[in-house]
DNA sequence: CAGTATCCCACTTGATACTG
DNA sequence: CAGTATCAAGTGGGATACTG
């Protein structure tokens, strides 16, 4: 994936934030990790729209940006866990506001669906 | 651009939010419109990394999703303004938290830059 | 289990030029 | 001024198969 899409001239703060969280699945990963440490497999199940390949790529970038950390337990079979770093946890307000908005949006859509049902 | 990337199964709220704001430049546009109504040209200047073509495409999608509205004044030459709709303004907490985080992040980078300077 | 490697095409995006 | 049209190039991302 190409990094540094935004050059954040005039230091636009929103572009800076996007620099870190704008991957296709990054904020979703962070969202799930806010809930606690997860294994690769856990994330795969939580985000079934996201292919294993994409999950792997996005995790790698988050790792490189210091947002998450990875721990490998050399058991057989191997066990890996991902968690937010302290830095990653500073993104909580951002992800939480996205969560809050999404909840509101989903309720809106549910009620619109009900209206359509009634209109039939 | 392909829409509806996320099918938001289990109604993951973060995926729902991304459905609306995940375009490459969408949150930046919303950010600038929080500041007030803007003309096409204003946005072009504020986001000089974004090509005219991309700006146009992203505005079209935000329009289609009801996030922004457009007003055309049939003067010569034509004048167009974009503003957030009431719905679009509900995204303020999301964009503001991105802004806040970006400000923090930029300061962090500035001080790191200074440290590097000193280290030379 | 937790990935990586390879192939490959669709979509995204930039460049450039044109227009009401 | 505020876009659109067209073309070409590059990338994103799926499918599938393989591995320590």
Q: Is residue B73 over pLDDT 50?
A: yes
Reported pTM: 0.91
* pLDDT digit string, tens, across residues B15-66: 999 999 999 999 999 999 999 999 999 999 999 999 999 999 999 999 999 9
φ, ψ at B85 (rounded to 5°)? -80, 175
CATH classification at residue A95: 1.10.10.10
* Residue A4 included in any domain: no
* Residue B8 included in any domain: no
Gap between the Cα atoms of B112 and B55, Å rounded: 33
- CA nearest A87 in B: which residue? B105
* Residue B46 included in any domain: yes
B41 CB-to-strand D distance under 7 Å: yes
Q: Is residue A38 over pLDDT 80?
A: yes
* Residue B7 included in any domain: no
HEC string of A99-116 equals: HHHHHHHHHHHHHHHHHH
* Residue A89 included in any domain: yes
Is A93 an interface residue toward B (CB < 8 Å)?
yes
* Residue A95 included in any domain: yes
* Residue A7 included in any domain: no
Taking the CA of residue B117 and the C1' sugar atom of nucleotide D13, their distance in angstroms comes to 40
A29 CB-to-strand C distance under 7 Å: no
Taking the CA of residue B55 and the C1' sugar atom of nucleotide D4, their distance in angstroms comes to 13
Instruction: Report the side by side order of strands in the sheet with A38-39.
Output: A38-39, A79-84, A68-73
- What domain range is A49 assigned to? 13-119
A60 CB-to-strand C distance under 7 Å: yes
* Residue A43 included in any domain: yes
- The total number of structural domains that make up chain B: 1
Higher-confidence residue: B120 or A85?
A: A85
């Amino acid at each position: 994936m190409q990094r540094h899409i935004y050059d954040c001239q005039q230091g636009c703060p929103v572009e800076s934030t996007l620099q870190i969280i704008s991957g296709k699945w990054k904020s979703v990963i962070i969202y799930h990790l806010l809930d606690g440490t997860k294994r690769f497999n856990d994330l795969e199940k939580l985000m079934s729209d996201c292919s294993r390949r994409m999950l792997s790529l996005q995790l790698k970038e988050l790792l490189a940006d210091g947002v998450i950390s990875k721990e490998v337990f050399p058991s057989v079979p191997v066990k890996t866990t991902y968690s937010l770093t302290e830095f990653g946890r500073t993104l909580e307000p951002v992800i939480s506001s996205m969560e809050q908005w999404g909840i509101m949006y989903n309720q809106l859509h549910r009620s619109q669906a009900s209206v359509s049902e009634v209109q039939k």
